[in-house]
A = this chain, B = another copy of it.
Amino acid sequence: MARTSAAGRSAGVDPEALWPTAERPRRGRPPAYSRAEITAEAVALADAEGLGAVTMRAVAARIGAGTMSLYSYVPNKETLLEFMIDQVSGDHRMPREPSGDWRADLRQLAREQRALMRRHPWLPAALPARQTLGPNALTVLEYALAVLAPAGLDARARLETFTLLTGFVASHVSYELAQEQATVAAGRTSRELLEAQARHLRSVATGDSYPHLAEALTAASQDPGDQDAFDRLLDRMIDGLTAAV
């Protein structure tokens, strides 16, 4: 056997060829699917039924392929997840050049991140684990660094700022989604568990061992939820992260 294919299954790691420019080999049976197609199907599945529903068998079934056929396009499931992240990163809309008002640009960037994460609710959970950057994520990062260039931070601080801003957005979206789940709720698998949790909290709240907690809970249950809490907090975050040292 000569050389394995670009995404060949047998290569332990074929480093030159993750995120390849992949010229189709001219010999051999032509592929019936494509990495992008498989990744898209995995994303659709995660959007519809959550990350847990993304199994190699389920993805393969959706495109009508045999399970093991996926391994011609993707070395393993972990890498498929990275492809998924990068693919949705490609939907990130942004101008070609910063506008000059870096605060406005940064705010817009975070809003776009938030929109992306709300469209793909598995994203906040999937992001923090991995550190690999695909080409689409790299493009976003490059743009973010360009935006931050005139903000008076050194290169390291710019990188930190973007990382932490992304972390903030992920945290906030997780929080938002959990809130919405909780209020909708009751249709899910474990409504009993949610009720148990609620009862537990209420019993805590009625006792006077946790006065501040009680107050926060009653306030949260009255107030239907702040519409633009995100924008408000975002501004504060930007102030904090980019304030001169």
Contact = CB atoms under 8 A, between A and B. Distances in A.
Interface of A: 12-13, 15-16, 18-19, 124-125, 128-129, 131-133, 138, 141-142, 145-146, 149, 154-156, 158-160, 163-164, 167-168, 170-172, 174-175, 178, 182, 190, 192-193, 195-197, 199-201, 204, 210, 212-213, 215-216, 218-220, 223, 226, 229, 232-233, 236-241, 243, 245
A149 B148 CA distance: 35
Top 4 closest A-B pairs, CB basis?
Answer: A240-B240, A15-B196, A167-B171, A155-B219
B172 A164 contact: yes
Given A145-B216, A156-B220, A236 B243 contact: yes
Contacts of A163: 171, 175
Given A178-B131, A212-B142, A216-B158, A196 B240 contact: no
Contacts of A216: 145, 155-156, 158-159
